[in-house]
Structure 1
């Protein structure tokens, strides 16, 4: 990774446990991020809006507003990647977290190497989409340890270089306001009345544009591209991380539950009934694939 790329990456850490916060700082800075650390949900939301990070790690049990509410407020105003870190690992908690806007769900205690792998996968996914990691909106002056009274744990991101591109340069919004092109146009994936354009990040069901999260969009694009080939939960997990399917990569139960939760949300937005699916069918004990056309 180039120095300039490292300088443009910022991560916000929202965690009330000082030891976990310190570990997250070490892992993320080793991955090339500048970090902003806060200990409660309200300060975390403000930090995300101020620093516009590429990545946010978010605990669930926080003083003030909890991680679920923090995620909802962050997602309403930011496209940052959210990794939820928590001791809760029941499927209902996973679904709640993902519904609130999280992209990833990692149970505590987590392994630093696994977190590092997921962070690097997120960086690859952003790079593949042509996204430019946004710099800090308000760089901290040299020698200043705090940003006012609100963010005492800030390790500021570097200021943008002269003539640097705008933070949103090269980004494609998930849901542009322009109408989708006809399904016959080059680049569209089609299944029944479902149409998806991977490059333009547009998904349509009939004449209606679908409001999908980044992860839901990627899952749907993978299934559309795979047609009737079955994709396992482990395979889909590694796809979301940006890895090829190699058996040495670790895919745990929490990863598979996260895929199930994303798929539940995706089906709900498609209006698809798993018992009588129109678009995506479950291959019991294996994974998912498209229904017959």
Structure 2
């Protein structure tokens, strides 16, 4: 992780918040914490962080609503903090714009690994040249800016969705397993690959359909994974 990178921790449990702040500050990150959703939106707007860790259970606002508001103006990576049994919450959170999730209880090692993976992607995007990627079918990706357009119209992809589509487009017609996608896109350990990948693929398909596309884009290969097909 690089010094100068900034994280906003949104967590109403004081013990968990203190743990996250301590672990992240020890890695050299600038960390700001709040236990309120409204304040989280203000902090992200003021600070333009690289990453937000977001608890879904907050006293003043549902975490998914915070995520939805952040996505109106921020392209920071968002990692949800959830309970292990909250699969519906994880699904909703990923659908409204989160890039990743981490289940409670978690270890300091897991926090460091998961945050480092996301921030490597944030740093590489900043340092990468602003090259566009023709993904076929009128889809253009700009991974360094985490943006995408379809026939010139901007698409509401999250940073993780842009990275995932860029991975697919780098190997059109080839099968990607879910494990390969996690290693390529999320670059981390401690990840339940099937759930995370499947939800993001579903989000990409839905957003492309809403943009008016009738192409298949990403085909499911039973028992294997996915194939990118922009034809």
TM-score, scaled relative to structure 2: 0.86
Deviations 1:134-181 (A, max 9, x none): xxxxxxxxxxxxxxxxxxxxxxxxxxxxxxxxxxxx896xxxxxxxxx
The within-5 A match list for 1:170-249 is 188-198=133-143, 203-242=148-187, 249=189
3-state SS in 2 of match to 1:271: helix
Contact 1:122/1:241 (CA < 8 Å) preserved in 2? yes
Tell me the residue number matched to 1:114. 110
Tell me the residue number matched to 1:9. 5
Deviations 1:15-50 (A, max 9, x none): 111111111012211222121111121122222222
Contact 1:94/1:257 (CA < 8 Å) preserved in 2? no
Contact 2:147/2:157 (CA < 8 Å) preserved in 1? no
More helix by share: 2
**Structure 1: stretches of 5+ with no match in the other structure:** 132-169, 173-185, 244-248
Answer yes or no: is 1:278 the counterpart of 2:223.
no
3-state SS in 2 of match to 1:50: helix
Closer, same or farther in 2 for the Cα pair 1:286/1:31, shift >3 Å? farther
* Structure-2 separation of matches of 1:49 and 1:206: 30
* 2:126 alignment partner, one of 126, 130, 150: 130
Tell me the residue number matched to 2:23. 27
More strand by share: 2
* Structure-1 separation of matches of 2:7 and 2:114: 14
3-state SS in 2 of match to 1:77: coil
* Structure-1 separation of matches of 2:49 and 2:217: 35
Contact 2:7/2:32 (CA < 8 Å) preserved in 1? yes
**Structure 2: stretches of 5+ with no match in the other structure:** none
Tell me the residue number matched to 1:256. 194
Contact 1:60/1:85 (CA < 8 Å) preserved in 2? yes
Contact 2:218/2:230 (CA < 8 Å) preserved in 1? no
* Structure-2 separation of matches of 1:285 and 1:22: 42
Answer yes or no: is 1:40 the counterpart of 2:36.
yes
Closer, same or farther in 2 for the Cα pair 1:22/1:215, shift >3 Å? same
Alignment root-mean-square deviation, CA: 2.7
3-state SS in 1 of match to 2:71: helix
- Bigger relative contact order (CA 8 A; separation at least 6): 1
What is the number of residues matched between the two proteins?
228
Closer, same or farther in 2 for the Cα pair 1:47/1:229, shift >3 Å? same
Instruction: Give the C-alpha shift of residue 193 in structure 1.
Output: 4.1
3-state SS in 1 of match to 2:148: strand
Closer, same or farther in 2 for the Cα pair 1:122/1:232, shift >3 Å? same
* Structure-1 separation of matches of 2:61 and 2:182: 30
Tell me the residue number matched to 1:98. 94
Contact 2:215/2:230 (CA < 8 Å) preserved in 1? no
* Structure-2 separation of matches of 1:171 and 1:75: 24
